[in-house]
A and B are shown apart, each in its own frame.
Chain A
């Protein structure tokens, strides 16, 4: 059974940093791209970032480019998202999602975690 467990969310001041983690199990982690998608309270879904199965290709939404960094450790079956220079508008539930291909290209999110909440406020 595929399981994705996010952690690392919390309350942070504007300009601060957080690192989110997503522990994966139930599939061969390195064979699949992974992605982060966020959802602001009461709002819709917004794709944030994606990474290929090898970690060699990374992708970012314009809204986070230069501030967020996605990475993965295939030996630990774990996906990460480093969030820097946080803004109030980054407040959201951050979901980790497994992509159904080794590459982000033409892949969709077929499994999702339950999310970790990031709140940016002074």
Chain B
């Protein structure tokens, strides 16, 4: 199976900061990558799919980039509502879904 590795595991930031989370795949997945946001006690929410396509209703301060094995999620100006855990997920055709271990964005 394809392994997904996120970094960092925890990130401390302030409101207004630019935040970047990295996700690496153990083999090329093209652009078959999604990003989810999860808040405590809540279900995950889809933010981005196909590496860079913003899901409907997601604020434009979120963006995704990358292809092959390296991907990033960027929050251009961190807002109070953005403190949460973020997961990447690959959905390559020939492999079961696999998720990264998560990145917790905390208040600095």
Q: Which residues of A contact B44 (CB under 8 A)?
A: 37, 45, 95, 109, 112
A-B pairs with beta carbons under 8 A, tally: 54
> A114 in the interface, Cβ–Cβ < 8 Å?
yes
Bound: A37/B102 CA distance, A = 15
Q: Can you name 19 extra interface pairs (CB under 8 A) apart from A44-B102, A45-B102, A109-B44? A: A44-B87, A45-B36, A46-B99, A47-B97, A47-B98, A50-B97, A60-B96, A62-B96, A95-B44, A100-B49, A106-B91, A107-B91, A108-B91, A110-B46, A110-B55, A111-B46, A112-B43, A114-B43, A115-B43
Choice from A95, A105, A109 contacting B46 with Cβ under 8 Å: A109
Chain B contacts to A: CB under 8 angstroms: 1, 32, 34, 36, 38, 42-46, 49, 55, 87, 89, 91, 93, 96-102
By beta carbon, the residue of chain A nearest B85 is A44
Q: How far is the CA of A65 from the CA of B42 in the complex (A)?
A: 27
CB distance from A49 to the nearest CB of B (A): 9
Contacts of A111 in B (CB 8 A): 46
Give the distance to chain A from B108, nearest Cβ to Cβ, in Å. Answer: 23
A44 contacts across to B, CB distance below 8 A: 87, 99-102
Instruction: Report yes or no: B43 in contact with A95, Cβ–Cβ below 8 A.
Output: yes
- Is B46 a contact partner of A45 (Cβ separation < 8 A)? no
Residues from chain B with Cβ under 8 Å of A61 in the complex: 96
User: Can you list 11 A-B contacts (CB < 8 A)?
Assistant: A37-B44, A37-B97, A45-B89, A59-B96, A61-B96, A62-B1, A108-B46, A109-B36, A110-B46, A114-B42, A115-B43
Name the B residues within 8 Å of A62 (CB-CB): 1, 96
